[in-house]
Amino acid sequence: MAEYKDYYKILGVNKNATDAEIKKAFKTMARKYHPDMHSEAEKAKMTEKFKDINEAYTVLSDKQKRTIYDQVGEQGYQDYARGGGASSRARSSSYAGENPYQRYQQYTYGGNGGGFSGFAGNSGAEAFSGGDFSDFFQSIFGGMGGGFGGFGQNFGRSAASGQAAGDVEAELALNLEDAHRGGNMQMTLPNGRTVTVKLPAGVSEGKKIKLKAMGNPTRKGNGDLYLIVKIRPHAMFRLEGEDLHVPVIVMPWTAALGGTIFVPTLDGPVKVKVPAGTHNGKKLKLSGKGLSNKGSLYVTLTIDVPRTLSKEQKDLFAKLAQIS
């Protein structure tokens, strides 16, 4: 069995943390450890750290997953992993040799018996995208979605008025990177049938993808299944339509003198020139770097003052203060 993960410790919050506190901690840590913000020598280490942070937030930001995670707890998971052993708690909790999560998973997504598998395979997603979860996560939530994509809890609702009988709508949750890249992806339907879905690159929130004859049966044949795209919040980028917004820190001397910085994009970091005399909060626009090539990336520059200074740096700042 996989080793237990303390998601609260990973995010640096206590078990009574509010949703707002969890979200704030996630954003802070994700920006700090995002691989694109580190050198090549540190990238592999930061990628693993970022995976843990993303996984912890995936669980603790979801009310259902968090409840299940808390209710079983570390001891319940350890009892299950050991097959119960001689633990009196294991005997009283009935977790000895039994998957303690199965009792919850059967109620997931409206009681469809273990949930649906999400996308997998041909996405081309980066190693730290939402589809790459640990064995521990999979042992708990493997049947509950949350992989590359995943059906939302509105799966199986009747389609909008005016559509044919038997048509069904389902909310399809995607990570921002996956929505940006698109591609052919495999999906397992509740009836066990595996189909290949082609997502266009830059697919936007609310977009409907039609799967012909994959809906409910009628006397005239099966209706259609409409997947409605829902894009999950991202640790670094804020999505508005097809545009993205990202904050980037610059040093005071770069802001004053101008220079080159690296800016994260969904396709990897790019070099951007900072004009001399840049003020705090200045925005730079990178056309074609949004969710799709029709969108833009807006970079908000934040001037950061070093927390510690060498004697030489202090002397230079003092001199600057005298002549200013």
* Residues 86-138: tens digit of each pLDDT: 333 333 444 444 555 544 443 332 222 222 223 322 332 333 344 467 878 87
Share of the chain above pLDDT 70, in %: 73
CA distance 22 to 16: 10
Query: Do the domains spanning 102-232 and 238-323 agree at the CATH topology level?
Result: yes
Q: Who's near 99: CB < 8 A, 6+ residues apart?
A: 80
Label residue 278 left, alpha or beta by phi (over 0 means left) and psi (-120 to 50 means alpha). Answer: beta
CA distance 150 to 147: 6
Could you report the per-residue pLDDT of 232-269, keeping only the tens digit for each?
888 789 999 999 999 998 999 999 999 999 999 999 89
H and E: helices and strands count for the chain: 11, 14
Contact 166, 223 (CB under 8 A): yes
pLDDT, residue 84, reads 43
Label residue 43 by pLDDT band (50, 70, 90). confident
Domain boundaries, the chain: 102-232, 238-323
**Residue with the larger pLDDT of the pair 189 and 221:** 221
| Cα 43 from chain centre | 19
Could you report the per-residue pLDDT of 70-79, keeping only the tens digit for each?
887 888 777 7
Q: Who's near 76: CB < 8 A, 6+ residues apart?
A: 93, 95, 100
Residue with tokens 């004859």: 213
Q: Tell me: pLDDT of 281 over 80.
A: yes
pLDDT, residue 163, reads 61
CATH 1.10.1060.10 corresponds to the domain 238-323 = no
- Listed in sequence order, the DSSP H helices in the chain are 7-11, 19-33, 40-60, 63-81, 88-93, 102-105, 108-111, 135-141, 176-181, 252-257, 311-323
Residue 323 CB coordination number (10 Å)? 5
CATH 2.60.260.20 corresponds to the domain 102-232 = yes
Contact 195, 247 (CB under 8 A): no
